[in-house]
A and B are shown apart, each in its own frame.
Chain A
Amino acid sequence: MCNRIALFALSTALFSPMAFAHPHSFITLVTTVMAENDQLTGLKMQWTMDEITSADLLYDAGNAKPDSPVWKKLAAEVMANVLGQHYFTEFWHNGQKVTFNNLPPQYGLARVGHQAVLTFILPLAHPQPLKGQTYQFATFDPTYFVDMSYDHNGDAKLPETLAKQCKISVKTPKPTEDMQAFALSLDKADAPPEDMELGKQFAQQVIVQCQ
């Protein structure tokens, strides 16, 4: 009996943490809102990968020059994956998802020190009005294999033209506050699967508020 209990305790202890996920890669985000004619047109993003993750790309790049086909090919490859995941970004307006154009007008990959930096423009499918509106967006990996985060609140920026009219802020979830919400969402059997995703639970939300 004792044997069985000890065994059971051990095996559950060993198997249950297999569901435990922690990020293995880290991307630091810097985002600038893009506007044209008082309309929100897209986001200009800069993703800096951590050195260990970057090693993968930097190894393949070797000593290639920044403008060489090697870097262009790598950039296309990474960008294709980012597009495959809908830019790893969700964009909300009045409780509705804002759609993106699946063709970035501009993108590139570069080496900064020992880090790989991906820059691109995320275009909205349709420009959105700014006056009196509130927008919210978040960039995250749903599986939480990659941690994507803003190091500083100032890393989400507005263009100078909007500086007077709008405010931007980064909301970082605090585990103590959101613990109950998280636990409750796990209880809801009818919750949409994406709400249960780990990465979304911990994603920072950027809020743009305009007068």
Chain B
Amino acid sequence: MSVMPSTKPQSRRWLHMWPLAFFLIVCAAAFYSLWHYWPQIILNSAMWQKSINQQMSGLLREVAENPARAGWSLLSFSFVYGVLHALGPGHGKVVITTWLATHPSRLKSSLKLTFAASLLQGLVAIGLVTLVLGILALPSRQLHMSSFWLEKGSYLLVGILGLMLCGRAVGKLRRILRKPVRLTSFTPRHVHHEKCGCGHQHLPTEQQLDAGEDWRARAMIVLSMGMRPCSGAIMVLLFSKVIGVYTWGIASALTMAAGTSLTISGLALLVHSFRKLAVRLSGNKAPVLWRQVAWATLAFAGGGILVLAAGVMWLSAQPVMRGIRPF
């Protein structure tokens, strides 16, 4: 008898699951088509890359002959190249998405982070080529070798950042667990302030956000994202040096960085709004302790992901041959 009433709400509950079912079907369809068309995607991207390479070198050659006419074409092409190239996989995207998904932060400061990282990446490429080829006049092998070590270094920083986030999350969890959560006394000490609307805290306050985004973590994020120079930018700089239009190479690398920052900012915006949505959907009913623990756990998981990613990238990074040339 007592089972009877529970069956009806049960079936209606399933009806309300449709967004999840829809999501799963879309995911399955996406994965299937990705698997099915994978060879075609790879072949096509190879052809695009080939024509992009030719376009870029062609434009640089034109600039060498007629800067006034080809200059703008070169810069706009570099910008588009930056936008598109940043769509591919990259360690910087792993860092910024993990950070944004697992840590409460404000949009404006997140966008500042992505911009600073992209700018740094462009400047590192320019600085490296200028230093190694221009000032030290070393062979190009040294250029690729130092670029390789910068890459390794940036993966190391990703790992350190991950450990740092893990450590902070553990500290936070320990503080939360030690703190008594039940109201033990009801004394006049309890004053109504801005945190106190309905007995629990809805969102982290500005101060908490600031504390969560202390300068050390942010500097690590920018450095780990930007320390690895983009190999495309390095090759463009090298080619422009060979044909004697190095200044245009620098302009191209900087425009590329601007394009990259646009894409990564878009990604940051996406992750940011996803997180806000998730918080809004799940957050209001949950008790404050649950939410504190959840955020700390999430932060720990984010740190873990970064450590894992850093390990994989460190191990898989190898001095790639340039063309058919060994290191």
Contacts and interface: CB of A to CB of B under 8 A. Distances in A.
A10 B238 contact: no
A60 interface: yes
B46 A57 contact: no
Contact of A114 (B57, B98, B271, B282): B57
Nearest to A145: B320
Interface residues of A, number: 59
A55 interface: yes
Nearest to B316: A18
B324 A3 contact: no
A126 interface: no
B9 interface: no
Contacts of B198: none
A55 B101 contact: no
B294 A81 contact: no
B101 A22 contact: no
Given A58-B242, A59-B242, A81 B326 contact: yes
Contacts of B49: 22-24
Contact of B324 (A47, A51, A182): A47
A189 interface: no
B169 interface: no
A9 B88 CA distance: 17
Given A7-B298, A21-B42, A50 B61 contact: no
Nearest to A11: B305
A207 interface: no
A114 B260 CA distance: 28
A28 to B, nearest CB: 10
Contacts of A112: none
Contacts of A56: 140, 144, 235, 238, 322-323, 325
Is the contact region of chain B dominated by helix, strand, or loop, or is it mixed? Answer: helix
Is the contact region of chain A dominated by helix, strand, or loop, or is it mixed? Answer: helix
Interface residues of B, number: 63
A50 B53 contact: yes
B28 interface: no
A210 interface: no
Interface stretch (B33-41, B71-79, B210-218, B220-228): B33-41
Interface in A170-184: 175-176, 178-179, 182-183
A116 B325 CA distance: 12
Contacts of B279: 3
B35 A114 contact: no
Contacts of B40: 175-176, 179
A6 to B, nearest CB: 5
B238 A59 contact: yes
B181 interface: no
B236 interface: yes
Contacts of A58: 242
Interface stretch (B89-97, B119-127, B172-180): B89-97
Contacts, number: 160
Interface string B294-327: 1000100100010001001100100011111110
Nearest to B231: A24
A52 B39 contact: no
Given A51-B239, A176-B40, A202-B43, A114 B101 contact: no
B325 A77 contact: yes
A21 B57 CA distance: 22
Interface in B25-62: 27, 35-40, 42-43, 45-46, 49-50, 53-54, 56-57, 61
Given A51-B54, A53-B323, A175 B236 contact: no
B274 A6 contact: yes
Contacts of A5: 23
B241 A7 contact: no
B4 interface: no
Contact of A7 (B93, B101, B243): B101
Contacts of A78: 324-325
Contacts of B23: 5
Contacts of B309: 15
B235 A55 contact: yes
Contacts of B238: 52, 55-56, 59
The 4 lowest CB-CB distance pairs between A and B, nearest first, are: A51-B57, A55-B239, A175-B40, A53-B323
Interface of B: 23, 27, 35-40, 42-43, 45-46, 49-50, 53-54, 56-57, 61, 88-89, 93-94, 97-98, 101-102, 133, 139-141, 144, 231, 235-236, 238-239, 241-243, 271, 274-275, 277-279, 281-282, 294, 298, 301, 305, 309, 312-313, 316, 320-326
13 contacts: A6-B101, A9-B27, A18-B312, A24-B320, A25-B324, A50-B54, A53-B322, A55-B241, A60-B139, A60-B140, A85-B324, A145-B320, A182-B38
Given A81-B321, A81-B324, A81-B326, 6 more contacts: A6-B278, A14-B93, A20-B88, A24-B231, A59-B242, A82-B324
